[in-house]
Amino acid sequence: MLLDTGEDDEINILGQVSAPLELLVEPVGRLFEQFQIQLRHKYSHEHFDGKDLDQSESGSSEDELPDDEDETLLFSLDPREWKNQDHYAVLGLKKLRINATANHIKKAYKAKVLKHHPDKRRKLGNIVKDDDYFTCISKAYEILGNPVKRRAYDSVDAEFDNDIPSLSTTSKEKFFEVFEPVFERNSRWSLKKPVPKLGDNSSSFKDVDRFYSFWYDFESWREYSYLDEEEKEKGENREERRWIEKQNKAARQKRKKEEMARIRQLVDNAYACDPRVHKFKEEEKEKKLAQKRARQEAARAKAEEEERIRQEALAEERRKKEAEEEAARQAAAAVKKEKDALRKVLKKEKKILRNIVKENDYFASNESEKVNHMEEVEKLAELLSVTRLQSLNEALNTGDKEVAKKAFLEYVKELKEQMEEEKKKQLEVLQKPSSNEVSQVSKDWTELEMQFMVTGVNLFPAGTRDRWEVIANFIIQHVEGSRKTARDVLKKAKELQKNDFSLKEEAQKKAFEVFEKHHTKGCSSAVPAEGRISQRYESVVEQQMREQGTNPSPWTSDEQKLLEQSLKTYPADVPERWEKIAANIPSRSKKDCIKRYKELVEMVRAKKMAQSAAAKAKRT
């Protein structure tokens, strides 16, 4: 190594220099990348700011813009029709479109400015018109450079495919190939991120359900303000601006509704064609059928178990019933056996009693006493108990006739006293109520009331509803001033039936006397004093019957039956009806039949009136 210390100084050698080395260096770093971009695009040093540098660090893909400029398109642009132009194509971003970033748009616009600005073109000698197409480039950057306006423009992107698959055989057979790109294409409008994928044929039920739930509740950010026909700022006053805003809002809502209907139709078609949905439905159906069959089997098993338990209970109840019936039969058989044995013993003792008394000639000294003792023997045999009969037979079988006769007579006397005592008690029981109440009732009954009471009892037999009330009303209707109640009638009927049969006979006798007196007026002198009908009386009655054409004697049951049968045989519309009826009853004339018919009609009418009066009194 040489060290130069000056012109006049000496050169000293300190050491030797090593040979140079050749190294391969690869340039890297953001500054080198910035330098390369600057050389490629001929940018100045002031082109890059801090933001551009930060973005360039992520890679050079955003700086590499596709070269798809169409000058023919630019030259054909009309500044007045800027709303109908393709802004992405104007800036040369037709291939990127919605995927273009803000940096892409900014760089594309700057590139267009450097190339197509009117000042740049004037320097090159190009003619610039008043309605230059550069206005369309500026308008494109104004729309795409503003995130809000760009979103409005992207919502109505003319290049977007709004078509949806139909319900065709192809859609069902190639479901995933047909519908997956459509859902991918429409997922760009979703407000919610991430958007679930359609999946494949092996997707689980949970994934498929989540996918369709997301799309059925799809929320789109797509809006249609870019298509507004008028801008509200053009309104001359507030009312006009409001009207313009109202019209634009209505048009947007209509387009939004149509868009949501399109999305819903897409999801419905996909759901209808999805083979996984059909598979899951079949699985769910089979699952429900399996559950239903399981429930049916469980219900059948339960019913069978209940039926088995019921049958066992019935069998047990049947066994108990049979056991009880068997026990009852055995008990009845034992009782019957005991009764039979007792009957045999009783029969044997009766036979012994009869034989002993018969052998001793009934302990009688004459025929009259013998007949009486024979009756007493039968009473003793029928009324004494087995033990008493045995005692009597032992007493009679002593061998001494006098002792036997004495014992026989003592038993006969004892039985008579016992029978007299029982008869006395029965009479006391029967006569006790009749001594006060019944006798008092008898005093209050008149002969006419007794007559109609007997008639009512015969007219309204047992089984008539409210019989005693009806009979009481029957008496009240026919006897003026009568106040008999159903209880009075019942007591009087019991009195006539049980206690004093002479009263009933007396009532019937008096009723016949009244009847005879009524029908035999004017001929009382013809009746003999002895109570016997003489020949003279018979001739008078026959003469009266010939004159009057009547038979005063009461109607017999046979005559009544003939009358009823004739009334049925000859109805009211038959000519000479009563002559034909009278011809069937030899002992009665036409007048007798008509009179009896009227009596029957009157009796039925009275019966109905009595029954209705009793029913009315009962209701009140």
Task: Judge if 174 and 106 occupy the same domain.
Answer: no
The residues facing 13 across adjacent strands are: 2
CB 216 within 8 A of CB 146: no
Burial (Cβ within 10 Å: 0-12, 13-18, ≥19) of residue 153: buried
Q: Is residue 279 part of a domain?
A: no
Task: Judge if 80 and 150 occupy the same domain.
Answer: yes
Q: Is residue 608 part of a domain?
A: yes
Question: For the chain, what is the domain count?
Answer: 5
Q: In terms of pTM, does the model score above 0.85?
A: no
pLDDT confidence of residue 317: 92
pLDDT confidence of residue 446: 83
pLDDT confidence of residue 303: 93
* The last residue of a domain, from among 128, 155, 182: 155
Task: Judge if 194 and 223 occupy the same domain.
Answer: yes
- Cα–Cα distance measured from residue 214 to residue 212, given in angstroms and rounded to the nearest whole number: 5
pLDDT confidence of residue 299: 93
pLDDT confidence of residue 29: 76
Task: Judge if 175 and 269 occupy the same domain.
Answer: yes
Task: Judge if 206 and 252 occupy the same domain.
Answer: yes
Domain residues for 375? 344-430
Task: Judge if 359 and 420 occupy the same domain.
Answer: yes
pLDDT confidence of residue 505: 57
Token couple for 477? 């209707």
Q: Is residue 614 part of a domain?
A: yes
Task: Judge if 143 and 177 occupy the same domain.
Answer: no
Task: Judge if 350 and 420 occupy the same domain.
Answer: yes
- Cα–Cα distance measured from residue 293 to residue 302, given in angstroms and rounded to the nearest whole number: 14
* The last residue of a domain, from among 215, 240, 273: 273
pLDDT confidence of residue 242: 87
Residues 6+ apart with CB under 8 A from 141: 91, 105, 109
Q: Is residue 504 part of a domain?
A: no
- Cα–Cα distance measured from residue 441 to residue 428, given in angstroms and rounded to the nearest whole number: 19
Q: Is residue 337 part of a domain?
A: no
Task: Judge if 187 and 212 occupy the same domain.
Answer: yes
- Map 150-206 to HEC letters: HHHHHHCCCCCCCCCCCCCHHHHHCHHHHHHHHHHHHHHHECCCCCCCCCCCCCCHH
Q: Is residue 24 part of a domain?
A: no
* The last residue of a domain, from among 472, 499, 526: 499
Task: Judge if 206 and 174 occupy the same domain.
Answer: yes
- Cα–Cα distance measured from residue 85 to residue 139, given in angstroms and rounded to the nearest whole number: 10
Task: Judge if 354 and 423 occupy the same domain.
Answer: yes
pLDDT confidence of residue 42: 62
pLDDT confidence of residue 499: 53
Q: Is residue 377 part of a domain?
A: yes
| CA quadruple 552, 553, 554, 560: dihedral sign | negative
Task: Judge if 132 and 180 occupy the same domain.
Answer: no
Q: Is residue 407 part of a domain?
A: yes
- Cα–Cα distance measured from residue 441 to residue 434, given in angstroms and rounded to the nearest whole number: 9
- Cα–Cα distance measured from residue 451 to residue 514, given in angstroms and rounded to the nearest whole number: 10
* Segments in the chain below pLDDT 50: 1-4, 49-63, 433-443, 520-547
Residues 6+ apart with CB under 8 A from 536: 526
- Map 69-101 to HEC letters: CCHHHHHCCCHHHHHHCCHHHHCCCCCCHHHCC
CATH of the domain at 112: 1.10.287.110
pLDDT confidence of residue 514: 54
